[in-house]
Structure 1
Amino acid sequence: MKRSLGYIKAFGLLAMVCLLYGFAEKRHKDRKISEISVRFTEGENLYVTEEVVNKLLIQNNGSASGIDKETLDLNRVEALLNQHDMIESAEVFLSLDGKLNATVGQRKPIGRVVGNSSYYLDRNGEIMPLSPNYSARVPLLFGFDGKNLKKAYPVVKSIREDEFLTRHITGLSRLKGDAYLLELREHDFQVYFGDSSNVALKFNNFKAFYKKAQKDKKLDTYKKVNLQFGDQVVCTKK
């Protein structure tokens, strides 16, 4: 009899636990989103604003409190963010306290095409539209279109990844045969780069030439600097 009573008590306790768990689970599912938290990687929200991200997250629900956790499609929301022209990557997730979190990485421009139409070249070599919120300080690219821009990508990328080159080079002009001229911030001599072959070697030669000529105070005596030969710098004086 005592054993049967013990079984009954254990069964009743188990049933109560299951009931409470089911009730808590239902309450959890029925809860609305408490708030939205947006974090931009690298601490920047230059090209897309938090307001734009919030609108994509709430999916026309008006506010965070109008979003039902049970019906929220995180994959769809994440896909919407990743389709945005200014976003490189996005991750969306729910925290235990009911907060909808979004971690957003923006696209990074490394050059700006100037011509009949203007747009950026981003760090992955893709075309990126201009942002109405912020104008990036990147080298200006002249004489380019979507067809020939890819060939210049290694040159522009090398400029943006080098502190010295970023400080001194402000533009890149395309010539016939996909050869390039570099435009300098402080000096008026032409720098003929040639095509996009041997990029690292040419830039190393240019930096060595520049520092030596600067030390000798001869930078203003040159009319043209030619880097196309790879293993040497050929200079023409004024």
Structure 2
Amino acid sequence: MRVNWDILKLSVLILCVIGLYGFSDYRSNQREVEEISVNFLGDNDLFIDEASVNKLLIQNYGSVKNRTKEQLVLNTIEKVIQSNDMVKKAQIYFTVDGKLVSKIVQRKPIGRIEGASKFYLDDVGKRMPLSKHHSARVPIITGKITGKTLEDAYTILNYINADDFLRKNVIGIHVEEEGNYQLRFRMENFVVNLGGVDNLNEKFKNFMAFYAKATKDNSLEKYAVVSLEFNNQVVCTKI
């Protein structure tokens, strides 16, 4: 029987490659984690720090350093980190030099509730606890806090954050009652009665027209209340 040496050589080569790959993979899995790197993506304001992440891992998973790669389940480590109330998402991976890297995206607060209980409202409308590491500069929400008024406050905050002027100047939302919201501005003495969350685009369009004219006339300081509750008009109460 004639031997096909080309096929035989190719088969041996494939077996060698598979063997080398298996050996390399085995050696890699047996390599111990020499360093842990914690990276926070996005804003530099940290609501959770590296020490807190490491403590969280030790409490829920045990020590990670000096354990082999095959002893560590990356999905489990990710879930442990994501269990923290300040974390939105975590990605964990190994580098070729034996480093365990975690990339963490924090939750983003857009409002702070000041009432019987104090907490943040995050950018997806969920409650977020305050942090001992950092206090976010976001509008303060006060008054009658309920599930529905928080939903409305979230709608208002999303509109405010989409507008550069409003984002820089609105410092608070006061809930008089459901469907009756009042805005407070950074540099002005007046308050803005917004009413409900219906027709926000029209209401703020009217307000910006009023604000531009009153600024030009130097008359902003004359007003105590600016009401946007009525259709297509701005009703002002003087001091």
Secondary structure in 2 aligned to 1:70?
helix
Taking the TM superposition and a 5 Å limit, the aligned residue runs for 1:123-138 are 123-138=123-138
For 1:5 and 1:153, locate their aligned partners in 2 and report how far apart those are by CA, in whole Å. Answer: 73
Superposed CA offset, 1:176-220 (max 9, x none):
233111112222222110011112222222222112211110101
**Does 2:172 correspond to 1:175?**
no
Contact 2:61 2:77 in 1 (8 A): no
Question: How far apart are the structure 1 equivalents of 2:23 and 2:70?
Answer: 15
Contact 1:198–1:230, Cα closer than 8 Å, also in 2: no
Q: CA deviation at 1:124?
A: 0.7
Aligned AA (2:185)? L
- The Cα shift of 1:68 comes to 1.6
TM-score, length of structure 2 as denominator length: 0.86
Deviations 1:61-118 (A, max 9, x none): 4452x22200211111111122210011111122232221211111111111111111
Name the residue aligned to 2:105. 105
The aligned runs of 1:187-202 (5 Å cut-off) are 187-202=188-203
**Alignment-derived partner of residue 155 in structure 1:** 156
Q: Give the structure-1-normalised TM-score.
A: 0.86
- Measure, in 1, the Cα distance between the counterparts of 2:172 and 2:107: 21
Instruction: Sort the Cα spacing of 1:30 and 1:232 in 2 relative to 1 into closer, same or farther, 3 A.
Output: same
Moved more, 73-82 or 35-44: 35-44
Partner of 2:210: 209
Residue matched to 2:227? 226
- Is the 2:87–2:104 contact (alpha carbons within 8 Å) kept by the matching residues of 1? yes
Q: How many residues align?
A: 237
Residues 105 and 7 (structure 1), Cα distance of their counterparts in 2 relative to 1, 3 Å cut: closer
The farther-off stretch of 67-76 and 223-232 is 223-232
RMSD: 2.8
Q: Counterparts of 1:84 and 1:36 in 2: how far apart (Å)? A: 18
Give the match for residue 184 of structure 1.
185
Within 1, Cα distance between the matches of 2:6 and 2:152?
80
Deviation larger for 6-15 or 55-64? 6-15
**Alpha-carbon separation, structure 1, partners of 2:171 and 2:114:** 13
Cα distance between partner residues in 2 of 1:5 and 1:175: 88
Distance in 2 between residues matched to 1:89 and 1:226, nearest whole Å: 41
Partner of 1:175, secondary structure, is: strand
**Alpha carbons 1:141, 1:172 under 8 Å: kept:** yes
Judge conservation of contact 2:183–2:194 (CA < 8 Å) in 1: yes
Q: Residues of 1 paired with 2:53 and 2:102: CA distance?
A: 8
Whether 2:98 is the aligned partner of 1:80: answer no
Q: Which amino acid aligns with 2:135?
A: S
Report percent identity of matched pairs: 40
Worse-matched range after superposition: 93-102 or 192-201: 93-102
Q: 5+ unaligned residues in a row in structure 1: which ranges?
A: none
Match of 1:23 in 2: 23
Q: State the Cα distance separating 1:230 from its structure 2 match.
A: 4.1
> Comparing 119-128 with 35-44, which one deviates more in the overlay?
35-44
Mapped partners of 1:165, 1:158: distance in 2 = 9
Cα contact 2:181–2:194 (8 A) shared by 1: yes
Classify the secondary structure of the residue corresponding to 1:48: coil
CA distance in 1, matches of 2:157, 2:68: 46
